[in-house]
Amino acid sequence: EAKITGICAALSALALVFSITGLFSSFLPFDIAWLAVLLCGIPILVGAFCGLVFEHDIKADVLVSLVLIASVFIKEYFAAGEVALIMQIGSLLEDFTSARAKKGIEKLVKLSPQTACIFRDGVEKVVPAEEVRVGDQILVRAGETIPVDGLILSGETSIDQSVMTGESIPVDKKAGDKVSSGTVNQFGTFTMKATALCADSSLQ
């Protein structure tokens, strides 16, 4: 759908350029700006109609549709095509931004650790990250993602915090330092104490 909208917008832009420069005006019995009105304007009119009839909602498409109809009525075809093109470009930018946001959210979801290695009742065991309780001691090995926010009890390492802070260089950590969920242990193995539940951690 985005590709079709992009093609329509590109063709409409060309039509408006031809219209304002007068190219092909001697060969065509109508203003070529009509192409922009049809390609970019019809989806807006359809969206406005569907919004009013089926959703009982007055959206921006309704107001733009009134502008398009008024412009065509007074024979300002270039203005009508220009408004329609601008709205379609805005729609493309909105779709692009939404797609990037969706990818970012999906990436964060993938970063969420699923399990944690904890010491409970003197026994080391792997549990779902959601079952980690505040105060639990967690063992984090090299290459693992930290499951919850916590405080390092023993060990030294470097943590990749780029997902949380944007820092490209790993940050050295030692006993007493805070660590955040979603960050990655780069080198050493360390033991930490959970200071927040999984649902309340920084990544969430």
The C-alpha atoms of residue 6 and residue 65 are separated, in whole angstroms, by 20
pLDDT in tens, the chain (204 residues): 678 888 999 999 999 999 998 877 778 888 999 999 999 999 999 999 998 998 888 888 899 999 999 999 999 999 999 999 999 999 899 988 988 888 877 776 666 778 889 988 778 888 998 889 998 999 999 989 899 999 999 999 999 888 777 777 889 999 999 998 888 899 889 999 999 888 878 777
pLDDT score for 151: 94
pLDDT score for 75: 92
pLDDT score for 122: 78
pLDDT score for 202: 75
CA 144-150-151 angle, to 5 degrees, is: 105
Q: 33 near 77, Cβ under 8 Å?
A: yes
Q: 142 near 158, Cβ under 8 Å?
A: no
HSE, side-chain direction, 13 A CA sphere, residue 12: 27
DSSP 134: T
